[in-house]
Structure 1
Amino acid sequence: MLVSTPRCDYFEAGRCRSCTFIETPIVEQLGRKEARCRELLPSVPAAGWLPIVGGGDRDFRNKAKLVVGGAAGAVTLGILGPDGAGVDLRDCLIQEPAIRAVIPRLARLLDATGLAPYSVPRRRGELKYVHVTAAPSGELMLRFVVRSEEGLSRIRARLAELRATVPEAAVISVNLLPEHVALLEGEREELLLGSSLTMELGDVSLHLRPQSFFQTNTAVARELYGQATRWVERFDPASIWDLYCGVGGFALACAPRSSPDSGSGSDSGAARRVLGVELSAAAVASAERSARDAGIDARFVAADATAFALGAANEALPELVIVNPPRRGIGAELAAWLDGSDVPSVIYSSCNPESLARDLAALPGYRVCEARVFDMFPHTGHLEVMVLLERAARV
């Protein structure tokens, strides 16, 4: 683990303060995050806290969401300053090197389009964002967020130049966001090249489409899925539901493999039934493709997680449930369903320990066995924490 504090010229010059704690040694950052989780989650026994997983201090972020600023022919790629002007951050050290390497090339190409960056104060302009995602292989997904058909047509017209400029690009798309709203993307996505980016995670590769969610730190994501797999192997459940499954990370990591030599575990593990539930039909399609490619026996359905659980009269209850909800948590309805169910074990992965604490208070029928903090977002106050729950003895 690196213990030095990276020097950031942007932070020291006051141009960017996104990495709030970058001047704090990484070891101290990790200690603060674990202490915060221990305070918020007192139901975790002291001996149940596993060692925190560090996320590095630089070169760790696999996705850059770059605001386009500046002027036509002289764009900036980074963030917006307090005055609404663009702040160029093309040398930001938290981005993976493959992302840093491509940003200057993208800036030159956008300059050549002549398209004007969108001005938030003036509510005028065309170019809003560039999203860049890097896979472990070095391949990239490029997404350009524009306001109108004009932006789409100009970028489309330069597709050959773009492919020559960024040969690492496996996926190129244009997203249209015409409204004057504080969103990172709109609903309409036009694919110009490819369809999905392959994220290799051990013996499973996840397929990310342009609007798919994936953890921002690939190395920590591997550790997160690995910990869940070890917990699953401990209980060896015959069936699993992965609620809020996204592109299927937890489900695919914990599902049986078709080959007996793939290390899937015990005989009962080889017969394990795995079902992933996700609201996004596109994410479900990606999960199904990943399962087919890896020879993994898992089923996925497109549905709201809470509605699915509450209406699952025709589904046999699983022996273990994995939940990985957004920041708001699983909420009162799903918590009440889980608490009143006969599901023996739950793995809860959370990016918000406050909502996790509320949800755990609503699950008195379970006891927390173990917990682990994952530093998915170094230099910030954000983190991922995962807990293992077992059904408490009924009185």
Structure 2
Amino acid sequence: MQCDYFDAGRCRSCALMGVPYAVQLADKDERCRRTLAGAAPSVSWLEPFPSAESAFRNKAKLVVGGVTGAVTVGILDADANGVDLRGCGLYEQPLQHLIPRLAAVVDEIGLEPYDVTARRGELKHLILTLSPTGEVMLRIVLRSRRHQALLESRLTALQARLPEVSVVTVNLQPEHKAVLEGDTELVLTEHDDLAMPVGGVTLHLRPNSFFQTNTTVAAGLYRQAQAWTRTVGPAAVLDLYCGVGGFALHSAQAGAPHVVGVEVSPEAVRSAETSAARLREDHPDLGSVEFRAGDATDVDALDRELLGTGRSMVVVNPPRRGIGPDLAGWLEGSGASHVTYSSCNVDSLARDLALLPSYTAREARLFDMFPQTSHHEVIVLLERESHSRPSDFTTAAARS
């Protein structure tokens, strides 16, 4: 991938820009294999799942700078001045076409950019999420409600100019600190969620819901987990850190008769419940699917009885810090026959696997969510020794 912004020194976010993509992918795969060698010495590594080199991001998080009527959209430099990156090639093509038009609409409306140095102004960020359907969610992050009435009065004109934008919200972030968004979300449009088809499941994203920034690779990740679920054939699946329900709903679609997801964000749980209800409309034979708002690390609140004594699975997809010793200890005593662990930090994954001596890593695979950077996603299937059937997992790569 070639980038004029990188070549000119205006943006260095893509630290691997210029490195051939095949080399990037091989280096990430080698790093993950090397890091897990001690904790998972007998694991079988599947072929890494690649991404497109460019035009892969479904989300744009744009810092707004400049002045009223001539905004910049992109990042801030070291002096907190706006750097315009509206032509960034990382975004999927529909976003690349939308961003310059959105910036023009912001200029026409007259929204006042927030000046970090002077601590005045209103518009801080523009956050865009693109669905494979072509529809877009636009979140406008403001310091206060001062521009809310203005936006409401111009909403019809905004959507006429930007017809792909089906959801528009105002997020209030009043604090002067490097935080992308605040706790208050005001939905301006009739629709308040974005339908995101991923494989055979449509996820319904609410404004505060997290979703992977690379839709194609996320679909591959879910398919891999789903293939393992089909092979294991668990009676129950407990999905911790379930987010909007991606792993949980793919597990249910794979035939798991009882699936429970746990997520700390009530908004994400609402998204997951909506997605489950819509999925059941198309698949009335779907098993039991339940989502609960709660902390996945609160081991005292987790349902050990759900896992029973037969073949059962726990899915974990934690933040970068990993699951930690308390949850690892709970898993050790849980009776779950299998664990699917999806990680964005192979170092914390290695530490956590060392805390799970009752389990053997059977298969692992790198998913390259973030080309041009060293970031990675790796998924591992663990099996408790008492349930060992190694031959089950010799053809998972072909099925995923």
TM-score range, shorter chain: over 0.9
* Counterpart in the other structure of 2:263: 278
Instruction: Check conservation: 2:42, 2:361, Cα contact below 8 A.
Output: no
TM-score by length of 1: 0.92
* Counterpart in the other structure of 2:60: 64
Alignment CA distance shift 1:15-1:358 (3 Å): same
* Counterpart in the other structure of 2:157: 161
Alignment CA distance shift 1:305-1:341 (3 Å): same
* Counterpart in the other structure of 2:227: 230
The separation in 1 between residues aligned to 2:273 and 2:176, in whole angstroms, is 35
The separation in 2 between residues aligned to 1:311 and 1:114, in whole angstroms, is 50
* Counterpart in the other structure of 1:287: 272
Instruction: Check conservation: 2:123, 2:143, Cα contact below 8 A.
Output: yes
Alignment CA distance shift 1:47-1:301 (3 Å): closer
- Coordinate RMSD, CA, aligned: 1.5
In structure 2, runs of 5+ residues without a counterpart are 281-285, 388-400
CA shift for structure 1 position 387: 0.5
In structure 1, runs of 5+ residues without a counterpart are 1-5, 257-263
* Counterpart in the other structure of 2:9: 14
The separation in 1 between residues aligned to 2:2 and 2:371, in whole angstroms, is 14
Of the structure 1 ranges 150-159 and 328-337, higher mean CA displacement relative to structure 2 is found in 150-159
The separation in 1 between residues aligned to 2:340 and 2:368, in whole angstroms, is 18
CA shift for structure 1 position 116: 2.1
* Counterpart in the other structure of 2:22: 27
Instruction: Check conservation: 1:148, 1:177, Cα contact below 8 A.
Output: yes
| Equivalent in 349, 371, 379 of residue 378 of structure 1 | 371
CA shift for structure 1 position 118: 1.2
* Counterpart in the other structure of 1:306: 297
Deviations for 1:177-226, whole angstroms, at most 9, x for unmatched residues?
01101111000000011110011112210000111000000000000000
| Equivalent in 335, 338, 355 of residue 362 of structure 1 | 355
The separation in 1 between residues aligned to 2:73 and 2:196, in whole angstroms, is 25
Of the structure 1 ranges 368-377 and 310-319, higher mean CA displacement relative to structure 2 is found in 310-319
Aligned residue pairs, count: 376
* Counterpart in the other structure of 1:339: 332
What SS is found at the alignment partner of 1:185? coil
Of the structure 1 ranges 289-298 and 351-360, higher mean CA displacement relative to structure 2 is found in 289-298
The separation in 1 between residues aligned to 2:7 and 2:92, in whole angstroms, is 21
The separation in 2 between residues aligned to 1:11 and 1:313, in whole angstroms, is 49
Q: Tell me whether 1:199 sits opposite 2:218 in the alignment.
A: no
CA shift for structure 1 position 382: 0.5
Q: Counterparts in 2 of 1:104-143, with a 5 A limit?
A: 104-143=100-139
Aligned residues: percent identity?
A: 53
AA of the residue aligned to 2:200: D
Instruction: Check conservation: 1:176, 1:187, Cα contact below 8 A.
Output: yes
Instruction: Check conservation: 2:139, 2:207, Cα contact below 8 A.
Output: yes
The separation in 1 between residues aligned to 2:329 and 2:193, in whole angstroms, is 37
Q: Tell me whether 1:241 sits opposite 2:238 in the alignment.
A: yes
What SS is found at the alignment partner of 1:150? helix
Instruction: Check conservation: 1:44, 1:370, Cα contact below 8 A.
Output: no
TM-score by length of 2: 0.91
* Counterpart in the other structure of 1:260: none
Alignment CA distance shift 1:188-1:290 (3 Å): same
Instruction: Check conservation: 1:38, 1:44, Cα contact below 8 A.
Output: no
| Equivalent in 314, 318, 321 of residue 325 of structure 1 | 318
Deviations for 1:38-80, whole angstroms, at most 9, x for unmatched residues?
1111133466010000111011000000000111110011111
CA shift for structure 1 position 331: 1.5
The separation in 1 between residues aligned to 2:166 and 2:268, in whole angstroms, is 18
AA of the residue aligned to 2:31: R
